[in-house]
Amino acid sequence: MATHGRPAHNGRQHGASSKAAKSNSNRAPTGSKSMTSNVNFLFIVNEFQVDFEPAAGGFQVDQWRNPMPPMASAAYRGETVGAVFRYHNGTISRAPDYLWYRREPTQGGHGGIMGRDQQGNYQFLEVYKTQSIFACSAHLPIIVSNCDASVVSDRDVTRRTNSSAFMQRGCDCDSAYDGYYPWSLLNFSASAAAPGVSFARLDAEGVPFVVGKNPSWIPSLVPGVFRNTRNDHGIPRSQGLSGELPIVIALMAFHSRANRASDVFDPAERRWHRGAWDGPNTAPAGYPLSENNPRGFLVQVCIDRFEDGSAEPIDPINDPAYQAIYNLEWYGILVRDGLA
């Protein structure tokens, strides 16, 4: 837990993501190209601490025996809390006035970024998205869940509402299916508005390979198994990587040493700066080896404002702050090609 004591909050139930983000996070880009300037948000990368011993419910495999993150909440023994960072028009800076706070299990167990309001009281920020991203093995490289994987209620919600899964039910008696349902293999989609840009996503609307030819960020950010190998002269040259912000941020974080995810985003290093990725051009050293357990991060992206205390969902179409982040994901480029 990142705080001592219990910070004050405004009474709104703090969930895994805002209602608007849950309902629109998988919406494909449509219409004309939007402006992607004046984008401001805060984010944090926490590393899950998982007990993979079978007694804790942590031993989980898919139907091909690939190791997976556990479904049992008891197997998630905590998290290494990262620093809070601010993204402003492509520049990363530390946000020392903000912190991470996770509620007690009896209060739902949800976590979020908090800051002090004008009265000096801690308040939760408005959540844009919260996602869990794990690297499991060479045969199951990156899987994603649209929730905090350590919170049981989040996984239950995802199981009921997320229409995609990387594993199909073999028969009605396949009870293991329900345990895998919240996880999706990393997918990518294309957009006519941005030829050659690969949009990372977690739903079935994409495909398990990138859009363009010869992306400079493979294998640095995306494992080589996702390379586009189609023999088609019409495939455009890769122009960049974009899409779900938590996914792209987590792909960068795998370059960190264990429990040091924040090091990757150190502003002094400028590894991710104004759409350029200046990290190693090799596969991340933080990927698990064959003998290792899966490694995973919880990534939360927040709008730079406090929750308003209302139970009503925000209107993303008429919310400039939400729309600016959304446009960056689905109309902009988070990592331009040729700069990795």
pLDDT band at 272 (very low <50, low <70, confident <90, very high): very high
Q: Tell me whether residue 229 is in a domain.
A: yes
State pLDDT tens for residues 215-224. Answer: 999 999 999 9
Q: What is the mean pLDDT of residues 47-69?
A: 87
The shares of helix, strand and coil residues in the chain, as percent rounded to the nearest 5, are 20, 30, 55
Three-state DSSP class for residue 221? coil
Identify whether 304 is part of a domain: yes
Does the structure show a pLDDT above 70 at 311?
no
* 327 in any annotated domain: yes
Q: Is residue 95 part of a domain?
A: yes
User: Cβ(186)–Cβ(136) under 8 Å?
Assistant: no
**Cβ atoms of 334 and 240 closer than 8 Å:** yes
Residue, of 171 and 60, whose pLDDT is higher = 60
HSE value, Cβ hemisphere, 13 Å, CA-based, for 82: 31
| Structural domain contains residue 9 | no
pLDDT in tens, 250-267: 999 999 999 999 999 999
Is residue 2 included in any domain, yes or no?
A: no
**Structural domain for 111, as ranges:** 19-336
- pLDDT reported for residue 315: 78
Q: Residues 6 or more apart from 119 whose CB is under 8 A from it?
A: none
The DSSP string of 24-54 is HTTPPP-SSPPP--S-EEEEEEEEEEE--SG
Residue 2's pLDDT is 42
Mean pLDDT of the chain: 84
Number of domains in the chain: 1
* Distance between CA atoms of residues 328 and 56, nearest Å: 40
Between 42-46, 96-100, 106-110, 123-127, the lowest mean confidence (pLDDT) is in 106-110
pLDDT of residue 5: 38
Q: Is 210 a domain residue?
A: yes
